[in-house]
């Protein structure tokens, strides 16, 4: 490994999908994304520094430097049809601005007051939940400047604030306090640290407008405006004499074409491409892909049971409505999601293939809970994962892997804890990879990441913890990463 990959371009890619209302989680490729974010998170190795900069509304650049374990560098550019972190001329020197709507500004400055004025779910006034969604998304979309990398304008919710909010909404203080923290997380969606580190359980509020997407037929004239949106990315690695790139094109509101590749120069030049076409609807999604390396062809699909639209409206009312709305959603229990998916692939070069099937049940509200089961019948591999949110800022996950042919098994457990809006800690343990820690903190425009990995084999072979040999056996790696956004 030359250096740790920075988070800037992946963060912008997610922002692009959010701006074009593309649900990344509605895919079998991300079927176990929630547990993987806690159990399989990547950690920095050695010492690396990266900087990401929005050159213009539609162009961003990224530089990466690594000093340890070896010297290396990388430069990349990203272009998109949508403004990502647009910096007006008056804010370029501050380098802390991002484009948001007046609705977001109003929500960020006074979330509790806004929640008290929203109609109760089920009332016919203003169209109920659907009317609420239409109202929030029909506001003038004039661009305004809001500090995106600076600390969130929302102050931490206090018990006194909770009592006022509970009295205005006729609810209990405990319920209002817990939900108030969740609403604050929803308003801090532009927080850089949350965007690059938090798992799906923390981003469960990112539901957009439930009236936006339809099922089984063409989109409206408003939603068809995303057809033709593109995202172009290129990254060069001079020390490796290689280059990677990707091109994403929205062919329609529900279909997307993605082409990615890697080119290696030198004594053994090589070029590999992966072409993927995806269809993403509220009820189901499908993907077809082809890779030139080995001539691999694959198909993926996912189907969501139940009244998906009602579930989206319930989540929308919980996070954007009043306490009465939220309590009614919890009482009606319209927040359980069951999905099944499958993947098949075949490699022409080695004449071999594979298949996997999975089932997932996700319980959204009031605290996130998810159970997944994935089976690979050819390899005889079974994976069971459970993710549970214990508090609004704390989530745990556990996974058990078992092979019916070799009878090998492994248990992994992890935790993600948001200390405050600018600090986050992750830890995970498994029998094969040992213990890993990751701590992130944001200071102004910078994100510092520190990691520590312990060798599971060295834990039982260390005779003297104070000896240098014992420490080398115990500590597998140490990493420090600095990411600067200007």
The pLDDT score that the predictor gives to residue 88 is 36
What are the residues whose beta carbons fall under 8 Å from the beta carbon of 53, sequence distance 6 or more?
60, 61, 62, 95, 485, 486
Closest CA to 181 of 256, 282, 112: 112
pLDDT at 198: 60
Q: Which residue in 483, 182, 465, 472 sits closest to 323, CA to CA?
A: 182
Q: Residue 54 phi/psi, 5° resolution?
A: -85, 100
In angstroms, the CA 136 to CA 153 distance is 20
pLDDT at 462: 46
Report the C-alpha dihedral over residues 325, 328, 334, 335, rounded to 10 degrees. Answer: 60
Q: How many residues does the chain have?
A: 486
Q: What is the pTM of this model?
A: 0.74
Which pLDDT score is estimated for 70? 77
- Classify each residue of 177-214 as buried b or exposed e, where b means 16 or more C-beta atoms within 10 Å of its C-beta: bbbbbbbbbbbbbbbbbbbbbbbbbbbbbbbebbbbbe
Looking only at the bridges linking them, the beta strands covering 369-376 and 352-363 are antiparallel
Instruction: Tell me what pLDDT residue 105 has.
Output: 36
The predicted structure's pLDDT at residue 315: 77
Residue with tokens 């969604």: 133
Q: How far apart are CA 307 and CA 310, in angstroms?
A: 5
- Which residues of the chain carry a pLDDT beneath 70? 1-4, 85-224, 334, 457-472
CB 74 within 8 A of CB 3: yes
Q: Own/partner pairs for 184-190, CB < 8 Å, 24+ apart?
A: 184/111, 184/152, 184/154, 184/156, 184/157, 185/392, 186/319, 186/320, 187/107, 187/108, 187/111, 187/152, 187/154, 188/152, 188/154, 188/421, 190/98, 190/100, 190/104, 190/146, 190/148
Residue 89 pLDDT: 37
Which two structure tokens, joined as six digits, stand for 141?
């979309």
């Amino acid at each position: 490994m030359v250096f740790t990959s920075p988070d800037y371009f992946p963060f912008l890619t997610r922002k692009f999908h959010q701006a074009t209302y593309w649900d990344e989680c509605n895919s079998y490729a991300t079927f176990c994304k929630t547990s993987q974010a806690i159990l399989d998170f990547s950690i920095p190795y050695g010492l690396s520094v990266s900087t990401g900069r929005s050159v213009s509304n539609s162009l961003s650049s990224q530089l990466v430097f690594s000093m340890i374990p070896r010297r290396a560098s990388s430069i990349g550019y990203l272009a998109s049809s949508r403004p990502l972190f647009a910096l007006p001329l008056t804010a370029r020197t501050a380098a802390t601005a991002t484009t948001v709507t007046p609705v977001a500004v109003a929500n960020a400055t006074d979330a509790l007051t806004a929640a008290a004025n929203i109609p109760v779910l089920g009332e016919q006034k203003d169209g109920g939940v659907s009317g609420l969604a239409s109202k929030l998304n029909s506001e003038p979309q004039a661009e305004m400047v809001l500090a995106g990398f600076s600390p969130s304008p929302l102050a931490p919710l206090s018990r006194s604030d909770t009592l006022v909010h509970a009295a205005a909404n006729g609810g209990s203080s405990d319920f209002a306090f817990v939900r108030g923290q969740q609403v604050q997380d929803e308003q801090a969606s532009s927080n850089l640290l949350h965007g690059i580190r938090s798992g799906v359980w923390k981003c469960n509020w990112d539901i957009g407008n439930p009236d936006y997407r339809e099922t089984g037929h063409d989109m409206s004239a408003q939603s068809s405006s995303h057809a033709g949106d593109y995202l172009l990315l290129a990254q060069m690695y001079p020390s490796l004499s290689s280059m990677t790139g990707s091109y994403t094109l929205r062919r329609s509101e529900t279909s997307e074409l993605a082409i990615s590749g890697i080119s290696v120069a030198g004594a053994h030049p090589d070029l590999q491409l992966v072409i993927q076409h995806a269809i993403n609807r509220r009820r189901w999604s499908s993907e077809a892909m082809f890779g030139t390396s080995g001539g691999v062809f694959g198909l993926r699909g996912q189907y969501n049971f139940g009244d998906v639209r009602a579930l989206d409206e319930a989540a929308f009312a919980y996070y954007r409505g009043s306490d009465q709305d939220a309590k009614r959603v919890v009482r009606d229990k319209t927040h359980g999601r069951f999905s099944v998916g499958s993947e098949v692939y075949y490699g022409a070069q080695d004449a071999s293939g594979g298949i996997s099937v999975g089932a997932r049940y996700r319980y959204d509200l009031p605290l996130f809970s998810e159970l997944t089961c994935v089976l690979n019948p050819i390899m005889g591999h079974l994976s069971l994962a459970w993710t549970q949110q214990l508090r609004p800022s704390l989530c745990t996950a556990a996974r058990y892997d078992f092979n019916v042919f070799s009878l090998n098994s492994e248990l992994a457990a992890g935790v993600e804890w948001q200390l405050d809006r600018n600090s986050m800690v992750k830890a995970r343990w498994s029998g094969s990879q040992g213990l890993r820690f990751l701590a992130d903190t944001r200071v102004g425009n910078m994100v510092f990441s520190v990691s520590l990995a312990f060798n599971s084999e060295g834990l039982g072979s260390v005779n003297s913890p104070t000896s240098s040999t014992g420490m080398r056996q115990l500590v597998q790696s140490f990493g420090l990463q600095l990411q600067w956004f200007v």
